[in-house]
Structure 1
């Protein structure tokens, strides 16, 4: 794949250098940010203070930090940010919908920048391996997120303590799996069927707490034989698809009397948007020694395209 060739075929200085055309296209993203922030004005709040100063510096900072991790490693935004915001005193209905809205936009931005910087290659004509995997993960995850949102916030109406406990347990489990994965050397073949189970679990996590999608999808792809840097880009775009469906589900629930608080939206969107642009550059520059030198996680093009 092109991402693998870039990782092993270019020097560090060559990976750090970006063409002027790429820099120009990245600069246009600033206009998208301003447009998005403008669209959010009606949701800032009803008081003059929230309209004039809608950004919460602390929330902007943590959103930037965790989205940087998410877009650079495929995980960390919702998984880590959701429990932190719970600790800061925000309830799930002020966190989960906002994370979904923000990730709907930043996931597409991050995936587009990953594509522009050749960390991955998405193609519609013809549909290539990365695009097939992204559509599979996104569609299965979207269906699972709808089911989990309906059950959690409407049908079963689970209490905040249950939701927060589940999110905390998920964070601990993903950390443990990551440690084990880093220490255990195994030979992995590309198995697309395995991706379905990971996508379903990830979608359930996304619907319940707004996070827990990236770790499952990224680790699931790697354990299924997808190249690491491509897996990160795929996870970003697939998460955007799932988030969009989740947002539409919450909009539907709001018409049934479920109250949603969007006060955190401008702050989380700002931090996440900035990080979604910068993180793919870090992925491009930092070499992936495991993916570049070991066959245990790097399937052949023919196997990955199967």
Structure 2
């Protein structure tokens, strides 16, 4: 499998990297110019050390997992950053902001590899954005996101079990998905409130209903760009960004990994992919519940 994946060639079009890179440089320049991101001489010197390379590797690994499985960017990157000594507050803020760019690169990749169900994508887009903005606003002033994490985790654990059960079924029956708009709004809202969950909630629910993994993961990942961008802007307006080295490292690594994650999702067969997703959801849910006790 590894040899087969490595033998594949990405499209030669420079769109893969020029568009995300230009967007990154433009917004980064605007943020520096307007004082949202402050850079000192000491920070520039520290930037040249090995820490930045580690953050790039974290972003690469997290986006590879998210692009191929449709979930777990936040949990993967947060876990790595915390293990590197980054404080929880800086880690969470950095991941939210970086997702604005990594999800954009991932969306382009999935579109190029034709992993998108356009009808599903459109159904997820607007409700997901509205839900994420609402959640980010409420979390900034009213709701304690940590208080509802165990309930979200339990829901995801149940979904993980359902996905594994469906993967092991000998006959594959696709159930018609109902109320996708409500699902997207809920996923966007809880993603902002709980610091993550768009993929596990939306992707897991759709896969649990028997939808095709390739097009489900591609469509959900593509819609996540708009969701992440909306919540990232909302959080930025309230908290600002001062951990720019971590953010930029995550962005660079994520943009590099995005095409490969999209490539893998089309090459892994349905059964093993669903087993991987189900196991991942269960493991992450148990982890969240234990950390919340």
Question: TM-score when scaled to structure 2?
Answer: 0.73
User: Distance between the aligned counterparts of 2:56 and 2:41, measured in 1?
Assistant: 20
> In the alignment, which residue of structure 1 is the partner of 2:177?
191
Per the alignment, residue 259 of structure 2 pairs with 277
Matched, 1:48 2:41: yes
Shift of 1:104: 2.5
Match of 2:190 in 1: 205
Q: 1:83 to 1:166 in 2, by over 3 A?
A: farther
Say if 2:58 and 2:77, in contact at 8 Å, map to a contact too: yes
**Cα distance, 1:213 vs. partner?**
0.9
- CA change 1:16–1:271 in 2 (3 A) is closer
The 8 Å contact of residues 141 and 242 in structure 1, kept in 2 or not, is answered as yes
CA-atom RMSD in angstroms: 3.4
Q: Secondary structure of 1:177's partner? A: helix
C-alpha deviation, 1:266, in angstroms: 0.3
Query: How far apart are the structure 1 equivalents of 2:79 and 2:272?
Result: 31
Task: Please tell me whether the aligned partners of residues 16 and 285 of structure 1 are also in contact (alpha carbons under 8 angstroms).
Answer: no
Change (3 A) 1:71 1:84: same
Q: Secondary structure at the match of 2:12?
A: helix
1:86 positional shift:
5.4
Aligned to 1:8: none
Partner of 2:101: 105
Change (3 A) 1:79 1:171: farther
Task: Pick the aligned partner of 2:130 from 130, 143, 147.
Answer: 143
- CA change 1:171–1:16 in 2 (3 A) is same
Unaligned 5+ residue runs, structure 1? Answer: 1-11, 122-129, 293-306
Residue number in structure 1 paired with 2:247: 265
Q: CA deviation at 1:18?
A: 5.5
The correspondence for 1:23, drawn from 11, 14, 25, is: 11
Q: 2:142 matched to which residue of 1?
A: 155
Aligned equivalents of 2:267, 2:119: Cα separation in 1: 26
Local SS of the residue matching 2:196: coil
Q: TM-score, normalised by structure 1?
A: 0.70
**2:67 matched to 1:71?**
yes
Q: Are residues 1:116 and 2:112 paired?
A: yes
Question: Residues 241-285 of structure 1: CA distance to partner in whole angstroms, max 9, x if unpaired?
Answer: 1111112322443xxxx4543432101111211111211121233
Residue in 1 aligned with 2:87? 90
Following TM superposition, by how much is the alpha carbon of 1:73 offset from its aligned partner in structure 2, in angstroms?
Answer: 0.7
